[in-house]
Structure 1
Amino acid sequence: MRQTSPSRSSIAAILALLLPLVLLVGCGGDEAIREDDRSAEELYSEAKDALNARMYEEAIGLYRGLTIRYPFGRHAEQALLDMAYAQYKARKPEAAISSLDRFLRTYPTHPNVDYAWYLKGLVNYDQTMGFLREMFPGTAADRDQQAAQQSFRDFQELIRRFPDSRYVADARQRMVFLRNIMAEYEVTVARYYQRRGAHVAALNRCRYVIENYPGAPATVDALQIMARAYDRMEMTELAADTRRVLELNYPDRIQEEERKSLLDRLWPFD
């Protein structure tokens, strides 16, 4: 027996019946929040207690409830910032970044806006650490490299806007580490190209390191890769020139860098 497909009008009627139910379910959570009779002070205190107890999901829900019920109250500003921190600790980086961007747009003159920039840098920094763990065995992802670049820009913005902030010293150290990671990433890709005989591509990556990350430990590796690439391309004069640059500029660092572990090279602080 041949089955007939439903008509467009019947489909539209079904959707019209379902839509109010979907909206009701979606709005149910917010409606319950609005009916909560706790004051802003009570919600904020409970959220803070949950945050201090590392009950991050509960804290997020309480902070969210506070910002919905009292969007213009005196606690709303700090609640949004605290919620971003709870989301960061709960390993919800996208939600944390969204909350921080909203905070920075809505409260640009808040006394803790420097902390918001610092926390935004930390969120991306933690994603970069995931990239670093991937890079140790020799694999690297462009997505995670972008997190390193964004973290660097966030810390850079903190320093530009608030040079006297108490978070600047830590941000500067993290920026050095991030710069070294980004340089090391480019060298990792250059090695990948060189193993496959793509010497021009390897050279381009190494030049990028030398031009954009001067002083990074990876510049020694970049010059060594360049010298080998010139050898294999039978450009003997350029290979010799590159090795002379190594000997003149990094006579001590070549052996020193070989002795250090990768993590020591990337994080040159005690």
Structure 2
Amino acid sequence: MPALKTFRPAAVAISLNSPGGSATQSELIYERIRTLAKQTKTPVYTFAEDIAASGAYWLMLAGNEVYANRTSLVGSIGVINSTFGAVEAIKRLGLERRVYTAGKYKGLLDPFRPVHKDEEERLAEMLRDTHDSFKAVVREARGKKIAGVNEEELFSGRVWTGRQAAHLGLTDGVAPLETKMRDKVGDNVHFVLCSEPLRRGLADVFGVRAGLSGLGGLLGRQPDFYSVTSCASQALLDELQYRSMMARYGL
């Protein structure tokens, strides 16, 4: 058996395009990236595409240097918890809500009963604490680059364009991934794209096989035309985006 060859990248470039997500998952991924970067002494560069907001901006901070496009949306340094209230709706339906708990706050902010002030206060405490954790990561990662900036505005949950973010110190400048990495590594840089394998077969590309097998088994019915075409359209868009990325990096 031939010996396995080890691969040591000159740098890692992470492209982000997301409005955010779980604070905990963002924290875990951020810590993992920073730990591996320190262990391997590999520089990490992060780049915002259309949007890197909230949890995605948290991930951007894992880079030794952080960049965005001029028109990218960056920031949203805040925390949100959204729910709904259906108290009147459940009354109109003639339903009675029955919830049994052990622990005063176990049914915190149940949407089917009126809001209790003390429960709102408990939730606000959790949101503030998570927000404080987010702000601490920003301060640690950006350091003097955000010194002098109005923190109340910076941490208000606003999003900024790439140029605004660079001016505020939230990023290190405006630059697309390929151009910046050639500046950092050299013109002979070779990009190794880390992503899912390219799908094979016409049926898979257009999502028909998955649509037929998944939708057809639902309650024993044949899939409707809208569901199949919707699935196929999304699969085609995914495939085009993937092939575009492959072409961008010469793969």
The alignment's TM-score, normalised by the length of structure 1, stands at 0.28
Higher RCO, 1 vs 2 (CA within 8 Å, ≥6 residues apart): 2
More strand by share: 2
Give the structure with higher Rg (CA): 1
More helix by share: 1
